[in-house]
Structure 1
């Protein structure tokens, strides 16, 4: 099993939060390891997550888990380098 690259220094941004309710659906719930919580975006096309790592990383696998019956129609992973960091947009 691959080790997670997400750490306390990993910064994240998201396209939106459902009804702007960050207390219930904010990005902090993406990586909290609790299956009862999740980030929830608003409806619409092109919802995204941007991860900025504190150092260069080598990604060998990406796992996405959608909540209760929801799924992405298409998912795309982009690798962009911004200065000394690597960032990935999903």
Structure 2
């Protein structure tokens, strides 16, 4: 049975933040559980989020809540040494179970004309090892 991995506050990086306004749109809002806050990327192609887990995890599901109009048509998952794990479409949430301690999610092909991505919640389900 899958459980929340709960990596926060492990190191997390994002490709950009809208207008560099970290207080209002920074990466911390991906995990704060608030319906009022979000991570909002700046313009550009290929936005991403990288998670460095404190110990290996077996990832089985990925939950991402995008804002309509600012989502990704295709997400690419990469693990150790940026080896591609899989690609998934936002309506999918199951990923091929993979053991890793680093995960990079690349959001390609944004539905926004300027390439912005807005995420209210990011969750990784699996097992801590």
Query: Under TM normalisation by the shorter chain, which class is it?
Result: 0.7 to 0.9
Distance 2:60 2:17 in 1: 28
Equivalences, count: 88
> 1:74: how far off?
1.4
RMSD between aligned alpha carbons? 2.0
1:74 aligns to what SS in structure 2?
strand
The more displaced of 1-10 and 67-76 is 1-10
Deviations 1:33-58, CA, capped at 9 Å, x for gaps: 11111100001111000000000000
The answer for unaligned runs of 5 or more in structure 2 is 83-99, 106-129
Alignment equivalent of 1:88, drawn from 97, 103, 124: 103
- Answer whether contact 2:78 2:104 (CA < 8 A) is retained: yes
TM-score normalised per structure 2: 0.62
Asked which structure has the greater RCO (Cα within 8 Å, sep 6+), the reply is: 2
| CA distance in 1 between partners of 2:69 and 2:3 (Å) | 26
Deviation at 1:3, TM superposition (A): 2.2
More strand by share: 2
Cα deviations across residues 14-41 of structure 1 (Å, max 9, x unaligned)?
0000000001000000000111111000
Task: Look up the match of 2:38.
Answer: 38
Structure 1 unmatched ranges of 5 or more: none
Q: Which residue of 2 aligns with 1:3?
A: 3
Which ranges of 4 or more aligned residues in structure 1 deviate by more than 3 Å?
Answer: none
